[in-house]
Copies of this chain bind each other. A is one copy, B any other.
Amino acid sequence: MPTDTSADKNIFERRESEARSYCRNFDTVFTKALGSELTDAHGKTYIDFLAGCSSLNYGHNDPDMKAALIEHISGDGIAHGLDMYTTEKARFLEAYEEIILKPRGMDHKIMMTGPTGTNAVEAAMKLARKVTGRRNIVAFSNGFHGMTMGALSLTGNAGKRGGAGGGALTDVTHFPFEGALGDDVDTLAQAEMMLDNSSSGIDAPAAFIFEPIQGEGGLTAASKEWMQGVERLARKYGAMLIVDDIQSGCGRTGSYFAFEEAGIDPDMITQAKSLSGFGLPFAALLIKPEHDIWKPAEHNGTFRGNTHAFVTGRVALEKFWKTDDFAKEVQEKSKILTEGLQSIVDIIPGARLKGRGLMQGVDVGSGDNAGEICARAFEKGLVIETSGADDEVVKVLAPLTTPEDTFRKGLDILIESAREVSTSTKMAAE
């Protein structure tokens, strides 16, 4: 096992592209991870409030998934099978049907796209245009949907968009998300006025796409009513309703899908991140059967249907979603989180709570503040990141399975870090 080498970061500076990012804030070399904790090469342990950006909702190396995966590999189970039929895919699909779809009265088909969120989004965009024969897709301010050219055209962030180097990001209308024009402005009513006006210049939409909670855009949570409103507009204008549940799904908000409480019925749902349960690359697009008009291989990809992920993903479904217990546990833990974050709001003038469920954070007014809080927390043994157009939100994305005492310990570190920053000269001056 690596010892010296492992802690030597020269290799990264020498060989890894400048595009690397998280490692710049968490400047150590990690070696192991279990449950809600990470260990680095110096043996230091960190509580994980990032959870692979919500890709590790069930924590690191969940023992049941781990056992199943080792058993699968040991028995020479398929590692890569393109999109051929395998027992693992069958078992995953059966579990998904029984545990997720049937109880929710959903009849969606499952498309195994390339194993990244952005690929599922691209598939959804393409299919929405095929189904409707229209090109314009309505996305919302502060939305984040991926980095490939299609998904990037939906994404709001100017820095990310600039990465296209001038490539065309077309056929998208960006409307303001709920609250983006102030709390008193009904952004959907305005969107409706524009869409009703045949001379508004807004072309008839193929789809509406939104995140129930904007994971990268600042943890703004859409209200039940707003989600219902988007559904209504989609129906009114004959457009597909696409929910991008990649970061907010898989239980993060206290229900399997983040839009469940709104009672809406999306035409397509993108899933990725925690879908494998184990942090393995995996993504899927749920499609209402009547819209599943793909021709064979019309959207293909080498790694669609990651077989290792079928194994762990099935265990995740069976372990956590057969009953309501886990969801309720998440809901309970959310209250602890709200309480903890409220302390920070109380400490920092002008701070605001953001988000919902175990996807909450605090808007601390500036990226400098938020970055400083996270940096201090990291020193104290907590891995946590920011979110928002200006990185102004301290975002808590702990594994949903984090034990309560660890969770409280992490929150304490965070509160302490916020307090330090709030009392430092720098912030006082702001």
Contacts and interface: CB of A to CB of B under 8 A. Distances in A.
Contact of A303 (B111, B281, B295): B281
A255 interface: no
Interface in A124-165: 125-131, 133-135, 139-143, 146-151, 153-165
Contacts of A60: 76, 78-80
A18 to B, nearest CB: 5
A123 B29 CA distance: 26
A21 interface: yes
A147 B201 contact: no
A389 B176 contact: no
Given A87-B2, A90-B6, A201-B172, A19 B300 contact: yes
User: Which of A28, A79, A135 has the most C-beta atoms of chain B within 10 angstroms of its own C-beta?
Assistant: A79
Nearest to A202: B174
Contacts of A406: none
Interface string A162-194: 111111111111101000111001000010011
User: Which of A80, A115, A285 has the most C-beta atoms of chain B within 10 angstroms of its own C-beta?
Assistant: A80
Given A11-B93, A29-B86, 15 more contacts: A15-B101, A17-B292, A18-B293, A22-B84, A30-B86, A31-B86, A55-B80, A56-B80, A69-B73, A114-B118, A135-B165, A141-B194, A156-B200, A176-B194, A181-B190
A110 interface: yes
A294 to B, nearest CB: 4
A30 B193 contact: no
Nearest to A163: B298
Contact of A31 (B5, B78, B118, B281): B78
A116 B117 contact: no
Sorted nearest first, the 7 A-B pairs with minimum C-beta distance are A80-B279, A129-B165, A174-B201, A149-B150, A17-B111, A130-B165, A2-B87
Contacts of A24: 296
Contact of A168 (B14, B29, B101, B168): B168
Contacts of A115: 115-116, 281, 303
28 contacts: A1-B87, A18-B109, A18-B292, A19-B296, A23-B83, A23-B84, A24-B296, A26-B85, A30-B81, A32-B75, A32-B78, A60-B76, A61-B79, A79-B279, A80-B278, A114-B114, A118-B119, A119-B119, A139-B201, A141-B194, A141-B199, A141-B200, A150-B150, A158-B198, A159-B297, A180-B194, A180-B200, A308-B308
Given A149-B149, A190-B176, A142 B53 contact: no
A203 interface: yes
Interface in A25-67: 26-34, 38, 41, 50, 52-53, 55-56, 60-61, 66
A94 B11 contact: yes
Nearest to A108: B15
A8 B94 CA distance: 11
Contacts of A218: 199
Interface string A201-217: 11110100000000001
Given A17-B287, A83-B21, A302-B53, A90 B163 contact: no
Nearest to A53: B302
A93 B160 CA distance: 26
Contact of A147 (B66, B77, B165, B301): B301
A5 B95 CA distance: 12
A144 B90 CA distance: 30
